């Protein structure tokens, strides 16, 4: 059997088109567009490329976009003051501070300084709490888990009563996606197990999964024999395992590998996300969706 591919690149286009339509309609009725600020500190190449993509996507959607680049040595106090300025700027609905931050800045302090109602990353403790409560309390689900759930829903995978096994317990992916899948509601109602580095028999847990979500950051961790035939496999891993020359651009690019042995797994799974082109493209998409949501809250039309 060859698994159905769950392509993030295609689902991204569907969702971005929906957002674009919504933005056009609201602009016509309210003469306003969503506003997003991206704050980038320093010149980390990976951060620059993520932020560039975020800006490009926001522009494509017709958002008001502010790109606020700060030097590597910006003080923590200045950064906190900057966040405060955007907190009280009514033209801004979403504030994104690109992580990681330089060592002299306390990440927790910075994330906590963002107004929870503009925290489109969903990292503020208030939004983590809202996610835990579930239902109408949820304002901004964190972007990668939200993208995973959206992919599962849009590819027609049954989640109600399904055994979901999440490999990894990070605050950004493992814990929130486990929390989301256990809630009442569409794309959820699952029975969830989280496994991690101290789990005694990883393979035994994975073998029971109807939906296996892997966010461990270990290339090829999940072996094909751990996959239940017909299962849905979501591979969140984006591991750089080498470099190659791009056929398109002639430039050096990273060779990416997921946490799952894709070639063998696709012969066993019912559906599977590729790496790259699976979960990756969904994160920025959901950031845009959260920014639109924040804008609608502001206008009282959410
Ligand atoms: N750095 C890597 N991924 C992310 C993300 O999703 N949000 C922010 N703010 N920084 C990141």
**Residues 82-106: pLDDT tens digits?**
999 999 999 999 999 999 999 999 9
Q: Is any atom of ligand 1 closer than 6 Å to the C-beta of 232?
A: no
Q: Is any atom of ligand 1 closer than 6 Å to the C-beta of 290?
A: no
Q: What is the pLDDT of residue 117?
A: 98
CA 1 – ligand 1 centroid, Å: 36
Q: What is the pLDDT of residue 281?
A: 96
Q: Which residue has the tokens 């910006």?
A: 74
Residue 302 or residue 235, greater confidence: 235
- 36: tokens are 């997003």
Q: Which residue has the tokens 């040595």?
A: 73
Q: CA-CA distance, 36 to 61, in Å (whole number)?
A: 11
pLDDT tens-digit profile of 241-296?
A: 999 999 889 999 999 999 999 999 999 999 999 999 999 999 999 999 999 999 99
Query: How confident is the prediction for the chain on average, in pLDDT?
Result: 97
Q: What is the pLDDT of residue 257?
A: 96
In angstroms, the first-to-last Cα distance of the chain is 43
- What is the phi/psi pair of residue 42, to 5°? 80, -160
Mean pLDDT of 53-78: 98
The percentage of residues in the chain with a pLDDT greater than 70, rounded to a whole number, is 100
Mean pLDDT of 130-157: 98
CA 282 – ligand 1 centroid, Å: 13
Q: Is any atom of ligand 1 closer than 6 Å to the C-beta of 48?
A: no
Whether 21 shows a pLDDT value over 80: the answer reads yes
Q: Is any atom of ligand 1 closer than 6 Å to the C-beta of 143?
A: yes
Mean pLDDT of 192-212: 98
pLDDT tens-digit profile of 166-195?
A: 999 999 999 999 999 999 999 999 999 999
Q: Which residue has the tokens 């950004």?
A: 172
CA 98 – ligand 1 centroid, Å: 5
Mean pLDDT of 26-54: 97
Q: CA-CA distance, 42 to 146, in Å (whole number)?
A: 28
Mean pLDDT of 38-58: 96
Q: Which atom of ligand 1 is nearest to the CA of 97?
A: 9
Catalytic residue flag (residue 115): no
Choosing from 119, 121, 235, 261, the catalytic residue is: 121
Choosing from 67, 70, 78, 98, the catalytic residue is: 98
Q: CA-CA distance, 65 to 47, in Å (whole number)?
A: 17
- Cα–Cα distances (Å) from 194 to 158, 159, 202, 229, 263, in that order, read 19, 16, 10, 20, 25
- 166: tokens are 């999440």
Whether 10 shows a pLDDT value over 70: the answer reads yes
Mean pLDDT of 47-54: 96
Check if the beta carbon of residue 233 is closer than 8 Å to that of residue 155.
no
Assign 1 a pLDDT band (cuts: 50, 70, 90). Answer: low
Q: Nearest-CA neighbor of 272 among 282, 284, 283, 260? A: 260
Check if the beta carbon of residue 147 is closer than 8 Å to that of residue 285.
yes
Q: CA-CA distance, 125 to 141, in Å (whole number)?
A: 12
Other Cβ atoms less than 10 A from the Cβ of 252: the count is: 9
| Residues whose CB is less than 8 angstroms from the CB of residue 39 and which lie 6 or more positions away in sequence, other chains included | 68, 69, 70, 79, 82, 83, 95, 96, 97, 98
Instruction: For ligand 1, atom 9, name the residue with the nearest CA.
Output: 98
- What is the phi/psi pair of residue 23, to 5°? -60, -45
CA 99 – ligand 1 centroid, Å: 5
Instruction: For ligand 1, atom 1, name the residue with the nearest CA.
Output: 99
Angle at 268 between CA 231 and CA 202, to 5 degrees: 65
Q: Nearest-CA neighbor of 38 among 97, 110, 117? A: 97
Catalytic residue flag (residue 103): no
Instruction: For ligand 1, atom 11, name the residue with the nearest CA.
Output: 99
Q: Is any atom of ligand 1 closer than 6 Å to the C-beta of 97?
A: yes
Q: Nearest-CA neighbor of 147 among 15, 301, 295, 300? A: 15
Q: Is any atom of ligand 1 closer than 6 Å to the C-beta of 283?
A: yes
Mean pLDDT of 31-56: 97
- What is the phi/psi pair of residue 5, to 5°? -85, 130
DSSP code, position 222: B
CA 95 – ligand 1 centroid, Å: 12
Catalytic residue flag (residue 98): yes
Q: What is the pLDDT of residue 294?
A: 98
CA 49 – ligand 1 centroid, Å: 11
Q: CA-CA distance, 87 to 287, in Å (whole number)?
A: 17
């Amino acid at each position: 059997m060859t698994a159905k591919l769950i392509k993030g690149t295609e689902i991204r286009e569907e969702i971005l088109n929906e957002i674009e339509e919504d933005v056009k309609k609201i602009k016509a009725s309210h003469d306003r567009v969503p506003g997003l600020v991206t704050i980038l500190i320093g010149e980390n190449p990976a951060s620059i490329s993520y932020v560039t993509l975020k800006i490009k996507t926001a522009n494509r959607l017709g958002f008001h976009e502010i790109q606020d680049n700060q030097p590597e040595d910006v003080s923590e106090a200045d950064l906190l003051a900057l966040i405060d300025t955007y907190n009280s700027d009514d033209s801004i609905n979403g504030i994104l501070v690109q992580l990681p931050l330089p060592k002299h800045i306390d990440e927790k302090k910075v994330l906590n300084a963002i107004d929870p109602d503009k925290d489109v990353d969903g990292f503020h403790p208030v939004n983590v709490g809202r996610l835990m409560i579930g239902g109408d309390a949820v304002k901004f689900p964190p972007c990668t888990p939200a993208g995973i759930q959206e992919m599962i829903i849009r590819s027609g995978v049954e989640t109600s009563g399904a055994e979901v096994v999440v490999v990894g317990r990070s605050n950004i992916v493992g814990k929130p996606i486990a929390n989301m899948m256990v809630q009442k509601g569409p794309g959820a109602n699952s029975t969830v197990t989280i496994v991690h580095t101290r789990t005694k028999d990883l393979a035994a847990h994975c073998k029971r999964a109807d939906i296996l979500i892997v966010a461990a950051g270990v290339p090829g961790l999940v072996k094909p024999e751990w996959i239940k035939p017909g299962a849905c496999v979501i591979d969140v891993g984006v591991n750089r395992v080498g470099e190659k020359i791009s056929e398109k651009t002639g430039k050096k690019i990273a060779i990416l590998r997921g946490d799952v042995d894709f070639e063998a797994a696709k012969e066993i799974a019912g559906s599977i996300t590729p790496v790259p082109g699976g979960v990756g493209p969904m994160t920025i998409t959901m950031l845009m969706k959260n920014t639109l949501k924040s804008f609608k809250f502001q206008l009282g039309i959410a």
